[in-house]
A and B are shown apart, each in its own frame.
Chain A
Amino acid sequence: MYLSTLPVIFFILITVGFHKRYRQGWRDSLLRSAVTWGATATLLAEILAPSGSFTTPGL
């Protein structure tokens, strides 16, 4: 259950990163983070899937 906070932590970290980098305000940083998160989630799944390593931690 707690593992599902990992993507949220990632989101928060990159939001802070974008805020420090671009200085365009929090809303701008949130939108940049959303896009980055979306692309990361996609690529992680696409990259992990062929190796058969995508699974629930319990398995």
Chain B
Amino acid sequence: MISWSLACLIAAVWVSRNASGHPVPPASNTTQRSSELVALAPVLVGAALLAASVALAAFLSPLGPIDVHLYHMPRVLFWLQHRSLGHYPTVSHQQLFMPPWAELAALHLYALAGDDRFVNFVHFASYVGCGIAASSVGRLLGGSVTAQATAAVFVLSLPQAVLTASGSKNDLTVAFWILTAVYFALSGIRNQRIWNAPFLALATALAIFTKATAYVWLPFILLTIYLSHGRDGAMRLLRSSPIIAGACLLLNAGHYARNLATFGSPWGCDAANCGTPYKFVNAHFGPRSAAANVIRNLCLHATTPIPVANQRLCEVAVSAIRLLGVDPQDGNTVWFGTRFEPPQYRLHEAVAGNPVHLALIVGATLLVACTRKPRAKTARAVTVAAVLSFIGFCWIFRWQPWHARMHLPFFVLMAPVIGAVVDLLAWPILGSALSIVLLMQAFSVAMANEMRPIANSGWNLFTVSREQLYPHAEHVRALAARLKQAGCRNVALDVHPSFQIYPLLRSLGVGSSDVRASYIVAEPRFERWYGQTSLKPCAVIYTHCDASWRSDHCRPLGPPQRFGELWLVMGFQAEWSVRRGWQIGAPGNIVPQESRRDADIVTIPAHLNADRAEDRGRMEGVASDKWVTEKGISMFIAAKKAREIKVRLVGDVPVSGPVLPQGILLRCGDRGHHRQLIEKQGRFDFTITLRCPSEEVTRLVVLPERSFRPRELGINDDPRQLAFRVFELAISKPQD
């Protein structure tokens, strides 16, 4: 607070002393500009309304998506807890080694506000900033007001940008810094002023300090832009290089040093968690592999609302990859554990493509390449820069099904070229018409954003509270309340890296109260951090205790109490050190209430209604808004050695759900299971008979299946599991 106040004071003094320091450039034709602006008023108002609706979503929605809860935001809370940017022991190494600029910005806002309410605005600001930067680059390309507005609208209407801008991932932020660097590079070349060099250098440094993909995008872009201006450009690049290198070192030195000390490299690890097969970079760099990856990446944008068209496009892509002599599923260039398959039409920021914008880019590229007009020279250079950097990206990084968002630098860089093409065609009405069509498409995307819908018929940001939308919301609140009730302020975390830890840390008050959380990690790289001291927590929080490979792991300190996917152990006297593990004085004594409470056992016949909170509580896995979580519904039933039970399930599947058919798997104990095919969206109501083990009490599971789709349908496995709501669940014996 003090430092920002001081910064404001210095800025105020600087502003008050600042007279006009540099000559004013000759004004352009003001009358023509004004008339163009008036003609563009509907477009500008539309763009402002679109930005306002995205801002509203950013304000109303919680942070997300998954990666934000896994590693982007946990690091912010640990920085606040430790009052240091230093690395700390964690099971999620990405919390440490990933470039941290977006999180540093979030840190300031979180620290000043005392909550995460404004964190999404870092990325929303980048979204608006990309629009401003695109129009500014458009101006440097010699574009008219219409061309500049078209460039801005092209960026603001990108489906991927609209979806991402209200969330907390850093892809738009890195795209903004890259485009800003391009602006200052072009501005320096055009104005021949040295004052642009420090800004170019800092924008470059901020880009690589935000996301490591900038290491690949920027060199291709800057080299192409400078070298396209001949000897003068090359000399200017040479003169700027020491400033760029200096700025990169200035901003990144601390992070490099921390990574070097912990991971032995300034860039951290080469895989998502150190030593795993989830490597970021291709294992093979041949031209054919690169070409195959270009095709795979382009295919991610074949996301029209017509599944057959997407399928056909990607079949062509597969054939093309095979023609290159490359396996479409080549493990050297495809992210571990994923398959290259046709994408779906989704309005989810992880996978949404930009098909219309890509088609426009292809058209603009052809036009710019063919035209001989001299004013297209810089637009041609920017096009070559964008295309080369895209190829470079595909050449270096493994293809991932969720790469579409990482292509944002390419799309925003091509926006000024789209504007330039509007001018080249000398048909201003085209720019306005195109802008209006793009804005209309973008509005529908903003309204129906799968993660943050503003106007969905199912649920939307006005019908479900922000707090409820956090993962594991009810369970982490219950767990935090339990710890608070016990007065426990020193918590150990023995959790799996795949657990979305941020909502738990936030509920515990890590970083904003005196509660301290520490990971239990016995990795040699963190020995130095623990030193000779031992952790003496008053509680340990576990995950995955119901998995066979973890069940024993969760019990040495006493029987755990379950809170959804979390298990809590308290009341023990023990200390943990990295060398000796747990030294237990006395085990905890909490009764494992949640594992099988008599009150939770459902007696047959039973009719559970999701409208009733008591019934929902017995259907573990059903959220308060009746949505079934990805783990499915799980409950204990008093089967009383019945060999069979009859189950009736009533619910619905939303219209915006995955491509059907998909399955709901019903399982009774470890004995029988039944897959119910859901073939159409809307309400479903089915009754099945299920075999059960001969036990007094057994577990009934109702699971939304992931990627179950018959291949003979000729379309791919949908990577999403079935999303459905449950209204009623009735269980009885077959004869009842």
Give chain B residues whose Cβ lies under 8 Å from the Cβ of A46.
Answer: 85, 254
| Cα–Cα distance between A14 and B555 once the two chains are bound (Å) | 57
Interface residues on B, range: 35 or more
B8 contacts A52, CB within 8 Å? no
The 10 closest A-B pairs by CB, nearest first: A13-B11, A6-B4, A4-B113, A4-B112, A17-B15, A3-B112, A49-B85, A21-B21, A52-B83, A20-B18
Give chain A residues whose Cβ lies under 8 Å from the Cβ of B11.
Answer: 10, 13-14, 17
B202 contacts A35, CB within 8 Å? yes
A42 contacts B251, CB within 8 Å? yes
| 0/1 interface trace, chain A 30-59, chain B, CB 8 Å (1 if under) | 111011101111111110111011111111
B22 contacts A22, CB within 8 Å? yes
B25 within 8 A of A: yes
| Cα–Cα distance between A31 and B206 once the two chains are bound (Å) | 13
A and B contact pairs by CB, cutoff 8 A, 12 listed: A1-B114, A4-B109, A4-B112, A7-B109, A10-B4, A17-B18, A21-B21, A31-B184, A31-B199, A44-B108, A49-B254, A57-B111
Pick the interface stretch among B127-135, B354-362, B638-646: B127-135
| Cα–Cα distance between A59 and B722 once the two chains are bound (Å) | 44
Counting residue pairs across A and B whose Cβ atoms lie within 8 Å, the total is 156
| 0/1 interface trace, chain B 11-54, chain A, CB 8 Å (1 if under) | 11011001111111100000000000000000000000000000
B161 within 8 A of A: no
Identify the closest chain B residue to A53 (Cβ). Answer: B83
B101 contacts A20, CB within 8 Å? no
Given the contacts A6-B4, A23-B22, A39 and B202 also touching, CB distance less than 8 Å: yes
| Cα–Cα distance between A35 and B184 once the two chains are bound (Å) | 11
| Cα–Cα distance between A55 and B514 once the two chains are bound (Å) | 11
The minimal Cβ–Cβ distance linking B115 to chain A, given in whole angstroms, is 8
A50 contacts B109, CB within 8 Å? no
| Cα–Cα distance between A10 and B83 once the two chains are bound (Å) | 23
A22 contacts B21, CB within 8 Å? yes
| 0/1 interface trace, chain B 93-134, chain A, CB 8 Å (1 if under) | 000000001001101111111110110000001000100110
| Cα–Cα distance between A14 and B12 once the two chains are bound (Å) | 8
Give chain A residues whose Cβ lies under 8 Å from the Cβ of B110.
Answer: 56
Give chain B residues whose Cβ lies under 8 Å from the Cβ of A52.
Answer: 83-84
A42 contacts B22, CB within 8 Å? no
B25 contacts A23, CB within 8 Å? yes
The minimal Cβ–Cβ distance linking A10 to chain B, given in whole angstroms, is 5
Interface residues on A, range: 35 or more
Give chain A residues whose Cβ lies under 8 Å from the Cβ of B85.
Answer: 45-46, 49, 54
B112 contacts A10, CB within 8 Å? no
Given the contacts A9-B8, A16-B15, A49 and B177 also touching, CB distance less than 8 Å: no
Give chain B residues whose Cβ lies under 8 Å from the Cβ of A53.
Answer: 83
The minimal Cβ–Cβ distance linking A46 to chain B, given in whole angstroms, is 5
B223 within 8 A of A: no
B512 contacts A45, CB within 8 Å? no
The minimal Cβ–Cβ distance linking A27 to chain B, given in whole angstroms, is 5
Given the contacts A13-B11, A31-B133, A38-B206, A57 and B1 also touching, CB distance less than 8 Å: yes
B101 contacts A48, CB within 8 Å? no
B485 within 8 A of A: no
A44 contacts B4, CB within 8 Å? yes
Identify the closest chain A residue to B148 (Cβ). Answer: A27
B79 within 8 A of A: yes
Identify the closest chain B residue to A57 (Cβ). Answer: B1
The minimal Cβ–Cβ distance linking A4 to chain B, given in whole angstroms, is 4
| Cα–Cα distance between A57 and B129 once the two chains are bound (Å) | 29
Identify the closest chain B residue to A6 (Cβ). Answer: B4
Give chain A residues whose Cβ lies under 8 Å from the Cβ of B249.
Answer: none
The minimal Cβ–Cβ distance linking B259 to chain A, given in whole angstroms, is 14
Given the contacts A24-B25, A35-B202, A49 and B4 also touching, CB distance less than 8 Å: no
Identify the closest chain A residue to B181 (Cβ). Answer: A35
The minimal Cβ–Cβ distance linking A55 to chain B, given in whole angstroms, is 5
Identify the closest chain A residue to B17 (Cβ). Answer: A17
The minimal Cβ–Cβ distance linking B35 to chain A, given in whole angstroms, is 19
B104, B105, B132: the one within 8 Å of A27 (CB): B132
B1, B20, B202: the one within 8 Å of A3 (CB): B1
Identify the closest chain B residue to A58 (Cβ). Answer: B114
